[in-house]
Amino acid sequence: MFSIIQAAGWPIWPLIACSILALALIVERFASLKTARIAPPKLLDEAITVSRGGVPGTDVVSHLEHNSLLGSVLASGFRALNTNPRISEDDLRSTLEGAGRRAAHTLERYLAALATIASAAPLLGLLGTVIGMIEIFGSQAGSGGVASAAGGNPAQLAQGISIALYNTAFGLIVAIPSLIFWRYFRARVDGYLLTMEIASERFVRHLNTLRK
């Protein structure tokens, strides 16, 4: 592996850095985007059940807030109702929508970085290819021009071709998995956002009955 890196030349080092960063982001997103940490299936029903007789106490609300992202959204509704029992339905909806936007920002964390790596890696590979071609033509220029390729420096010619091909291949190796995982996480986040939006709408209707 080290011999390949040596053959590819310095342009491969940015790609190696991108591959390490992409791997770290993928592992982090897999750990963070678990259903139990985002939107536990029975959490909404439990929140509605414990508040049928009225808004629960601060300890219950605090526990709900730290349960998951969906829990933090639901807890914001409880807190708004505790602060102002006569809050209007529109203000209640606005409170939950604001909490939902904060949750969406948390869900989408690092996805832009992963998408950037997926887009930039092929370009970095292309840069390595161009540098390799420059070295190829530079090695022939000292031997009387491109037309005298057969009489050029074989070592420099091989080095230039290695830089060109290794960087192209490595750029694609980094970009393709990054793109696949970005699309996967994007779809997963969209699914969570839809679940939280539906849950918030149902929860607002429930809070509206408590408000009355």
Q: Alpha-carbon distance 195 to 197, whole Å?
A: 5
Q: Name the band, by pLDDT with cuts 50, 70 and 90, for residue 146.
A: very low
Look up tokens 């730290």; give the residue: 66
Total domain count for the chain? 1
- More confident site: 159 or 43: 43
pLDDT, average across residues 79-89: 88
Range of the structural domain that residue 32 is part of:
2-211
* Percent of the chain residues past pLDDT 90, beyond the cut: 58
Kindly state the helix (H) or strand (E) to which residue 56 belongs, with its residue range: none
Angle, CA 152 vertex, CA 151 and CA 156 arms, to 5°? 150
Nearest to 96 by CA among 35, 33, 47: 47
The whole model's pTM is what? Answer: 0.83
The whole-chain average pLDDT of the chain stands at 86
pLDDT, average across residues 42-66: 90
Tokens of 157: 């010619």
Identify whether the C-beta of residue 143 lies closer than 8 Å to the C-beta of residue 104. no
Q: Name the band, by pLDDT with cuts 50, 70 and 90, for residue 156.
A: low
Is pLDDT above 70 for 47?
yes
Nearest to 170 by CA among 125, 131, 127, 132: 125
Start-end of H helices in the chain: 2-8, 12-32, 35-38, 43-50, 58-65, 69-83, 89-107, 111-141, 154-211
pLDDT at 148: 47
Model confidence over 170-192: pLDDT tens digits?
899 999 999 999 999 999 999 99
Output Rg (C-alpha) for the chain, integer angstroms.
Answer: 28
